[in-house]
Amino acid sequence: MTLGPEWALDWTRLTAQAMTEHRAELIELDRQIGDGDHGENMFRGFSAVVAKLDALAEPPTTVGDVLKLVATTLMSTVGGAAGPLYGTAYLRAAKVTMVDDLDGAGVVAMLEAGLEGIVVRGKANPGEKTMVDAWTPAVAAAVAAARDGATPTEVLTAAAGAAEQGAKDTKDLLATKGRASYLGERSIGHIDPGATSSALVIRAAAETAARVAG
> What's the pLDDT at 186?
81
The H-assigned helical ranges of 62-131 are: 63-77, 82-95, 104-122
Q: What angle do helix axes 104-122 and 82-95 make, rounded to 10 degrees? A: 140
Coil, strand, or helix at residue 162?
helix
Per CATH, which fold does 5-94+101-213 belong to?
1.25.40
Task: Give the tens place of pLDDT for each residue, 148-196.
Answer: 999 999 999 999 999 999 999 999 998 887 777 777 788 899 999 999 9
Q: So what's the pLDDT on residue 214?
A: 60
Quote the distance between the C-alpha of residue 49 and its chain's center.
14
At residue 40, the pLDDT reads 95
Q: Which of 2-16, 46-60, 176-190 has the lowest mean pLDDT?
A: 176-190
Interior angle at CA 103, CA 100 and CA 108, nearest 5: 110
Q: Is the pTM of this model over 0.85?
A: yes
Do residues 131 and 194 lie in contact, with contact meaning Cβ atoms separated by under 8 Å? yes
Mean pLDDT of the region 57-83:
94
